[in-house]
Amino acid sequence: MKKDLHPKNYRLVVFKDMSNDYAFLTKSCIDTRESMKWEDGNEYPLVKLEISHTSHPFYTGKMKLVDTAGRIDKFRSRYNKK
């Protein structure tokens, strides 16, 4: 295997589904600016998700209306700079 292929800064991070407030704690090396106090009383970095397995229609078996207003504009403004 190649040396130094994987990042070494893995830490516990909270991922939160903003459509239904479901959150889970897992290891990740993603950079975040926000943090959140978890159930154990410790503060962890926070990553906000638009959709997760608890809100995705494929996994729930029913169609849910997800707020999509402005998603295309947000996508265009994000990638229009390049």
- Average pLDDT for residues 6-25, to the nearest whole number? 90
Q: What was the pLDDT predicted at 69? A: 62
Degrees, nearest 5: CA angle 39-32-41: 15
**Are residues 9 and 29 in contact, defined by beta-carbon separation less than 8 angstroms?**
yes
Helix (H) or strand (E) holding 14: strand 11-17
pLDDT 10s digits, 34-80: 999 999 999 999 999 888 777 766 666 766 555 566 676 777 777 87
> Rounded mean pLDDT of 21-33?
92
Q: Which residue has the higher pLDDT, 27 or 55?
A: 27
